[in-house]
Structure 1
Amino acid sequence: MRVSSYGFGAAPIGNLFSEVGEDTARAAVDAAYEAGVRVFDTAPHYGLGLSERRLGAALAERPRDSYTLSTKVGRLLVPATGEGPFGRDDQGFDVPADLRRVWDFSRDGVLRSLEESLERLGLDAVDVVLIHDPDDHWEQAVSEAYPALADLRDQGVVKAVGVGMNQAAMLARFVRETGVDVVMLAGRYTLLDQSGEDELLPLCAERGVSVFAAGVFNSGLLATHDPSGTYDYAPAPGPLLERARRIAAVCERHDVTLPQAALAFPLRHPAVATVVIGARSAAEVARNADLTAKPVPEALWTDLAAEGLIP
């Protein structure tokens, strides 16, 4: 499959952290497509299915062979128990908690999850299916979820299968012990955290496994030129905040902003096929498109390495 250098992460249009209106969500997807984005990533987890429904509706009028769509398995959505009102979801999404997530990496659970995702998306197939966050479920994920997806790939139902996680070690194990085509690595190959380069990325390059790099702003610390906010969804530790500021200072010498460098950095590795960026509005998409369109001089990376800020 051919993919664009940058992809659209659809968690924000699933009301991540705060509500996004229907028209705003649709405009974000439209803006991404018009900007040349051809990779779209979603999951049942994002807004209890809201992200999948919105993304499917927004892409419905686009030629199906013009973009690559990925979704995930591992969390089934089942009706919430008890009598309403149910309140709000407790996983960071501003949606009614009328459904709940149930971990399920069994063969039947994977097939059911994908079938329900297709219904929400309004499609008869997706291109890529990722096993989602199997951190505490290795045995079932490798013995049931992966074989089920591999069978679907062999039958031509999906084009590629893989795993998406916030850690590199288990992803490397999947690459070594299974035949995954792609891994989505969130937050572990960024300007502040290159732990994915220790083992995973060289292994992927060696075996021809594509890497989708996500979380390249580390949840916010690298999202603005004046570093602030969160790192991995928690208050940024002082040493990391200071390191981000040192990186920003080097960027200034090359007329580059910190978020511009953060978006460009992962694509320097040959194993990285695309960088997936979350966006909740057309304005955010336009900002990201503007950042990715600006060239980053090679001398920036040389200077950052010379100061010990990147390998």
Structure 2
Amino acid sequence: MTRSLGPSAVAVTALGFGAASIGNLYRSVPDDRAMATVDAAWAAGIRYFDTAPHYGLGLSERRLGRALAAHPRAEYVLSTKVGRLLRENPDGGSDLDNGFDTPATLRRVWDFTADGVRRSLDASLDRLGLDRVDVVLLHDPEESPEPEVALRQAYPALDELRRQGVVGAVGVGSKDPATLTRFAVETDVDVLMVAGRYTLLEQPALDGILPVCQKRGISVLNVGVFNSGLLAVEWPDENRPYEYGSAPAEILRRAQGIAAVCRRHGVSLPHAALAFAGAHPAVASVVVGAGRPAHVTRSAEWFARPAPPAGLWAELVAEGLLREDAPLPS
């Protein structure tokens, strides 16, 4: 089953693959394992793949392009992002300060100008080995030194590329609800990638961005649905990451409370997290990352299971662990 992204002709599978991990997010992933992970996603029926220049300084794009070269181009949808250009870095070193275990032979330079958008896309196509991508997203515009440039220059550049048929759909990817809401209100984006703001653990996106998307017919790509890994296991503990760091005590207690309710209903926490993440009507695809074949296969298996029982959600609401206004899986 696929769903269209807003009014565009681009349609994505309900489960997507996020390629940050095969860009060596936090730890090095061997080439053969990266290729096998993409192959496992394909075998599981995933046909939507997301990447970005930021992920491993282009490593994710290069690996994803090589892995997908074995498949007909018309059979999958691919998105990448713009806003960070990659430039030579004579200082070298490691990119771990930015979260990626890869040599820092390149450096990121913020550029949301119209020319920067075009140059970024051209460079991405070269790394991917493709002549087109289906979706282009402005990446974290709120983190750039001049966020207004993304709205006033980068978005119009993407809009023109969409009008020319160079890309099929355009949007913004961010973890900041205010930024996403502004683009949803002030532009005609097709899609927003909402990172970690609508999960079983936390649902701040219900306060603004999701209602706006529903009203305006904008699709949502829901990413970070395990809160960086805290919800990806049966029982969260202090060793599990949250928001790319350690989980505060209150957050950990809440996650364990949700896990306890899941146990009482015979449901695994990751299954419940995935089911919830895709239940909102604005969500077109739940995008999961993985650096191992078994991990993406397991996520696909959880996602394909029947929805958890209604009693689980009712108990979560009753215990104050889930907002009562959140749409529930059926």
When the two structures are superposed, what TM-score results if normalisation uses the length of structure 1? 0.97
C-alpha displacement of 1:4: 1.1
Spell out, residue by residue over 1:177-226, the C-alpha distance to the aligned partner (whole angstroms, 9 max, x if none): 00100000011001111001101001101111000000011112111111
Stretch moving more, 300-309 or 125-134: 300-309
Distance 2:293 2:105 in 1: 29
Residue 318 of structure 2 corresponds to residue 306 of structure 1: yes
Residue 296 of structure 2 corresponds to residue 285 of structure 1: yes
Residue among 229, 240, 244 paired with 2:251: 240
Instruction: Tell me the SS of whatever aligns to 1:275.
Output: strand
RMSD: 1.0
Instruction: Tell me the SS of whatever aligns to 2:214.
Output: helix
Which blocks of at least 5 consecutive residues in structure 2 are unaligned?
1-9, 324-330
Residue 94 of structure 2 corresponds to residue 88 of structure 1: yes
Instruction: Tell me the SS of whatever aligns to 2:257.
Output: helix
Stretch moving more, 205-214 or 246-255: 246-255
Residue 266 of structure 2 corresponds to residue 260 of structure 1: no
Residue among 286, 290, 294 paired with 2:305: 294
Distance 2:42 2:69 in 1: 12
Give the share of equivalent positions with the same residue, in percent: 61
Question: What letter matches 1:272 in structure 2?
Answer: V
Q: How does 1:31-180 map to 2 (within 5 A)?
A: 31-82=40-91, 86-89=92-95, 90-136=97-143, 137-180=146-189
Which blocks of at least 5 consecutive residues in structure 1 are unaligned?
none
Distance 2:265 2:18 in 1: 29
Instruction: Tell me the SS of whatever aligns to 1:212.
Output: strand
Instruction: Tell me the SS of whatever aligns to 2:225.
Output: coil
Spell out, residue by residue over 1:96-153, the C-alpha distance to the aligned partner (whole angstroms, 9 max, x if none): 1110000110011110000000000000000000000011433100010000000000
Q: How many residues align?
A: 308
The residue number in structure 1 matching 2:230 is 221
The residue number in structure 1 matching 2:326 is none
The residue number in structure 2 matching 1:19 is 28
Question: What letter matches 2:68 in structure 1?
Answer: L
Runs of at least 4 residues off by over 4 Å: none
When the two structures are superposed, what TM-score results if normalisation uses the length of structure 2? 0.91
C-alpha displacement of 1:81: 2.9
Distance 2:152 2:20 in 1: 28
Distance 2:176 2:272 in 1: 22
C-alpha displacement of 1:297: 2.0
Distance 1:301 1:151 in 2: 44
Instruction: Tell me the SS of whatever aligns to 2:193.
Output: strand
The residue number in structure 1 matching 2:13 is 4
Stretch moving more, 204-213 or 132-141: 132-141
C-alpha displacement of 1:298: 2.7
Distance 1:18 1:230 in 2: 14
